[in-house]
Amino acid sequence: MAKKTAAKKAPAKKAAPAKRAVKKAAPKKKAAPKKKAAPKKKAAPKKKAAPKKAATKKKAVAKKPAAKAKAAKRASVKKAAPKKTVRKKVAPKKATKKAATKKVAAKKTATKKAAVKKAPVKKPAVEVWGIKQCQSTRKAEKLLDKNKVKYAFRDLKQEKPPKTLLRDALKGVDNYKQVFNTSGAAYQKGNWKTKVDKLNKEQAVSALANDPMLIKRPIVKGKKDVTIGYDEPAIKKAVK
């Protein structure tokens, strides 16, 4: 009992309220107000597909001139290449110059030759008119060759003698029958036997000029005189 009273007398002190071990959390700092996010830029309205194509087309068009320019450059380069071949062909120009000089030289020589040709060739003073097959004509030619006389042969079959030559040949002739080829076919066919005696000088000249086959051959035209028919002394005298 005593114990119970003791117990009652000394009532146990109430335990001091245990301090809360946990300290009061410091008041949380107010979070800084969040910065407002910058307003998102509005996305540019998407262009329609068609305009994009147009833009691409424009770009392609813009690129095309560049491609054309490149193609033009390539073409110009390709075209420029043949210029080298032209430059290589410059060497033949020397040949052309040589050819030109040769042509000029040829022209000069041609003109000189032409001048020589144009220069009057001195004809021999002596002429023998006759026919190649005629023996009398051959005799006259041999005589002139023997005496080293230069002469020109004139064929009576190809050309008629001028009347002036015949007039000179008939100088001093009284009987014109002497200057006719009485043994020829033309004399006999023309019945000149009956005509010749009635001819005057001018008639005889015209008859012989019209038909050279009537002429007694050869006619030798010399430096001083003209002879008709083969007469050696007269021919020698005429050609001196």
Same-domain check for residues 75 and 159: no
Same-domain check for residues 83 and 149: no
Q: Is the pLDDT of residue 24 over 80?
A: no
Same-domain check for residues 79 and 184: no
Pair of tokens at residue 147: 């005496």
- Which of 79, 94, 117 corresponds to the end of one domain? 117
**Residue 207 included in any domain:** yes
Same-domain check for residues 179 and 83: no
What CA–CA distance (Å, rounded) separates 178 from 228? 9
Same-domain check for residues 130 and 235: yes
pLDDT in tens, 84-111: 555 555 555 555 666 777 777 777 777 6
CATH number of the domain encompassing residue 157: 3.40.30.10
What CA–CA distance (Å, rounded) separates 42 from 137? 136
**Residue 6 included in any domain:** no
**Residue 43 included in any domain:** no
In this prediction, residue 127 carries a pLDDT of 95
**Residue 174 included in any domain:** yes
In this prediction, residue 38 carries a pLDDT of 55
Same-domain check for residues 183 and 134: yes
Same-domain check for residues 87 and 106: yes
What CA–CA distance (Å, rounded) separates 218 from 123? 19
Which structural domain range is residue 91 located in? 66-117
Please tell me the least confidently modeled range out of 4-8, 181-185, 220-224: 4-8
For residues 136 and 231, the answer to whether their CB atoms sit within 8 Å is no
Same-domain check for residues 77 and 147: no
Query: Which candidate, 117, 130, 127, places its Cα nearest to that of 225?
Result: 127
Please tell me the least confidently modeled range out of 64-73, 80-89, 110-119: 80-89
pLDDT in tens, 187-227: 999 999 999 999 999 999 999 999 999 999 999 999 889 99
pLDDT in tens, 224-238: 899 999 999 999 999
**Residue 26 included in any domain:** no
Angle at the Cα of 150 from the Cα atoms of 217 and 205, rounded to 5 degrees: 30
Q: Is 180 helix (H, G, I), strand (E, B) or coil?
A: strand
Distance of alpha carbon 231 from its chain centroid, rounded? 65
57-69: burial string, b at 16+ Cβ within 10 Å, e else: eeeeeeeeeeeee
Helix residue spans in the chain (DSSP H): 2-9, 49-88, 92-118, 135-146, 163-169, 185-189, 201-210, 232-239
* Cis-peptide, bond into residue 218, ω within 30° of zero: yes
Mean model confidence pLDDT for the chain = 74
DSSP 137-176: HHHHHHHHHHTT--EEEEETTT-PPPHHHHHHHTTT-S-G
Pair of tokens at residue 168: 């000179």
Does the global pTM surpass 0.85?
no
pLDDT in tens, 54-70: 444 544 444 555 666 66
Same-domain check for residues 165 and 95: no
For residues 214 and 181, the answer to whether their CB atoms sit within 8 Å is yes
Same-domain check for residues 133 and 233: yes
- Which of 117, 134, 157 corresponds to the end of one domain? 117
Q: How many structural domains compose the chain?
A: 2
Longest C-alpha distance within the chain, in Å?
Answer: 238
For residues 223 and 126, the answer to whether their CB atoms sit within 8 Å is yes
Q: Is the pLDDT of residue 140 over 60?
A: yes
Same-domain check for residues 133 and 211: yes
Q: Is the pLDDT of residue 27 over 90?
A: no
